[in-house]
Amino acid sequence: MNDRILADAHQLKKLVREAEAIADESIIAMARLKQAMLSARQNPEIEVHTGQRALMRLTEAESQAMSMSTNLLRVHDELSKVARVHAGGETGTPTVIPADAIVPASVSAAERPETIRA
């Protein structure tokens, strides 16, 4: 395999994993923020509806972050397909991404593909 292809493949692998980790960290940060918001609102001196709109917006942001994470898995899968074609000599263990992890929940079980090897 060409040294340039191998170097590019290693760089892409590193950057995809970095992007996935950052997406996970953002989801964790939002979960912590939500927990803190809900805890603060339990103060007896605070109205129960305080911050409701902020919580709704945060929940929307969490949903978008999850969508981003899912799309990054799709990117990972597509790059793995490219790697099989252009860097086929690599002997590393492929990443296994279950098909239901990247297929929207609205797709029926009969329409879902089998496990994807990335």
Task: Report the largest interatomic distance among the alpha carbons of the chain, rounded to a whole angstrom.
Answer: 67
Per-residue confidence in pLDDT tens, the chain, 118 aa: 588 888 998 899 999 999 999 999 999 999 999 999 999 999 999 998 999 999 999 999 999 999 999 999 999 999 988 887 776 655 566 677 777 877 765 655 555 555 444 4
Nearest to 70 by CA among 117, 45, 111, 105: 105
pTM over the 0.75 mark: no
H or E stretch at 97: strand 96-97
Question: CA-to-CA distance for 45 and 30, rounded, in angstroms?
Answer: 25
Nearest to 18 by CA among 99, 62, 75: 75
Q: What are phi and psi of 44, to 5 degrees?
A: -60, -20
